[in-house]
Amino acid sequence: MSAPYPSWVRVAAPLHAARRILLTSAVPSRLPRRPATPRCFRLVLVAAVLGCSGDQQHAIDASRRLAATAKAANPKLPAPPPVAAQSAAAATPVLHVDASESMRGFVNCLQRPTQFDRVLDRLTVDLGITSVTSFGAQRSQDRATMDVVPASRELHCPAFYKWHQNPDYQLFDSIAADRGGATHFYLTDGVQSDFVGHNQSPSVERLGRWLAQGHALALLAFRGHFEGRGWSETRQAWIDGVSTDKRPFYLFVFAPTEPALDATLGRLSQSLRDSALVQRFAPGAATCDVALTQVSAVTRDAKIPWVMLTQTATQKAAAAPLAVADYACRIRPEFPLATLRPRLLGLAYWKWKGTSFDSTEAPNGLSVSARPTTTSAAGASTPLVVSADVGSGTLFGFAHAVLGAEPGELRPAVLALSADADAERADQDRTYRIGWLVEQLARAQVERTVAPRSFSFTMSYH
């Protein structure tokens, strides 16, 4: 017989024919003939079971080897860049203050101290800072000035905040150029009131480069009283008469290493840290893995992970998507993302050829997709479902799926800081598109630090 019939059929048919010939020619004609069918049937059944079991065991062994080999070939994360080891107290922290006009509403010369005043004073006391850098530019085509001034009462008065522009990407370039090992702080309202204020690309690019070089970054968000004019980036104009107790302002923290960032944040008072929403973009802030579900299986290996689906499970996957594995992620509380979603990076297929699997193009009916993510205190989990309507031209099929991670939703507290429009007074208690900046930084860090994961499954067609 020719394919696609399994090997045990080809062996069993000659056995049946030979036995039939023996029974019909060797028995004397004068004796009553006994039916040959039952005994022949038993022989065929035994041969069939042995042949089927043998093919299955060969497929199991081949699947295990193939799953391990395919996993070893998964894409790897880029090696982290070398970062020179430095003492956590290698240099005095440096505080930069956004001295643009949009900051004026936070201060009133301490007539009625605001949250901004308290944060500024706590920073200088906790970190032993006696001078700050006043940052800003008068015109869009100017290079920003970075004047070092005493950390005095002047910082709490509107006159200090005199610059029309705050091209903060220039400040980020200056921080990146510092080879002294200092930790830099940047206190700002997050409103980029220069001529490209609507475009965050320069800032995102500089911050992403800082992280890509292996340095550490944190963003502390505060809310405080604001009274005065607010700058609208969408209108590129001032809005008079803004009054709110919830206007956000931010402290960017640039540290040479994660240990240096830990040490510096540890020096801040508990009351200051408790009043802030702390967001960190540390390597290892999010980790993901794949685990098999309790799907009906002939056998499985959770370490690879790999599973051989039963014929019933394979038929179910052909009729409707079948949950075969879970993509589970653990995210530290200070990372700004609430969830991570799996993204299919590759799906490879091998077809059983009697004694081994041969690589071939994945059939149109084979797919791996994700169901909606569920979250809990322990993390986020996304069921991975398989559709396997691939026909029955072979006994077994083997598939290997590789998954990467991509950002899901930001945490609700982070989303609450951000606005997609800031043209009205009512919009001034949020920051224009700050969520976009945070999401892009989180995305870049996920791509660099969350390793691709995979799972394999063998389908039993007959």
Q: Quick one: tokens of 51?
A: 């042949």
Coil, helix or strand for 3? coil
Higher pLDDT, 431 or 35: 431
List the single range of 81-95, 178-192, 295-309, 332-346 with lowest mean pLDDT.
Answer: 81-95
Apex 419 CA angle, 332 and 408, nearest 5:
35
What is the percent of the chain with per-residue pLDDT over 90, rounded to a whole number? 70
Give the C-alpha separation, 225 to 78, whole Å: 44
Separation of alpha carbons 42 and 203, rounded Å: 78
Give the model's pLDDT for residue 124: 96
Q: What's residue 331's pLDDT?
A: 92
- The mean pLDDT value for 405-411 works out to 92
CA dist., res. 215 & res. 261, Å (int): 9
Rounded Cα distance, 348 and 385, in Å: 16
**Phi, psi (deg, nearest 5) at residue 112:** -135, 90
d(CA 182, CA 86): 10
What is the C-alpha separation between 7 and 21, in angstroms, rounded? 23
Distance between CA atoms of residues 403 and 56, nearest Å: 28
184-237 confidence digits (pLDDT tens) = 999 999 986 544 444 568 899 999 999 999 999 999 999 999 999 999 988 889
More confident residue, 42 or 70: 70
What single DSSP character describes residue 337? B
Give start and end residues of each alpha helix (H) in 26-85: 37-72
Residue 51 has a pLDDT of 45
Cα gap 440→414, rounded to integer Å: 13
pLDDT at 377: 63
Mean pLDDT of the chain: 85
The CA distance from 246 to 429, in Å, is 5
Work out the pLDDT band at 80, boundaries 50, 70, 90. confident
Higher pLDDT, 43 or 332: 332
Q: Please, which pLDDT band fits residue 90 given cuts at 50, 70 and 90?
A: low
For the chain, give me the number of helices (H) and strands (E)?
A: 10, 20
pLDDT digits (tens, 9 = 90+) for 241-284: 999 999 999 999 999 999 999 999 999 999 999 999 999 999 88
User: In DSSP terms, which residues pair with 455 in a beta bridge?
Assistant: 401
Any long-range contacts for 86-91 (C-beta under 8 Å, 24+ apart)?
A: 86/181, 86/256, 86/257, 86/260, 87/181, 88/259, 88/260, 88/262, 88/263, 88/264, 89/263, 90/180, 90/181, 90/182, 90/256, 90/260, 91/180, 91/181, 91/182, 91/183
pLDDT band at 43 (very low <50, low <70, confident <90, very high): very low
> What percentage of the chain's residues is helix, strand, coil (to nearest 5)?
35, 35, 35
Task: Name, in order, each residue with C-beta under 8 angstroms of 340's C-beta and a sequence gap of 6 or more.
Answer: 286, 288, 329, 331, 373, 380, 405, 406, 407, 408, 446, 450
Average pLDDT over residues 114-118: 97
User: Cα–Cα distances in Å, from 48 out to 5, 9, 12, 392, 394?
Assistant: 12, 7, 7, 19, 17
Q: CA–CA separation, 419 vs 244, rounded Å? A: 15
- pLDDT of 20 > 50? The answer is no
pLDDT value of position 462? 82
Q: What are the pLDDT digits (tens) for 135-186? A: 998 876 678 889 999 999 999 999 999 998 888 999 999 999 998 899 999 9
- Sign of the torsion angle spanned by Cα atoms 24, 28, 33, 34: negative
Work out the pLDDT band at 24, boundaries 50, 70, 90: very low
Positive/negative CA dihedral, 98, 103, 106, 108: positive
Q: What's residue 13's pLDDT?
A: 32
- Residue type, position 340, single letter: L
Of 394 and 344, the structure prediction assigns the larger pLDDT to: 344
Residue 46 scores a pLDDT above 50? no
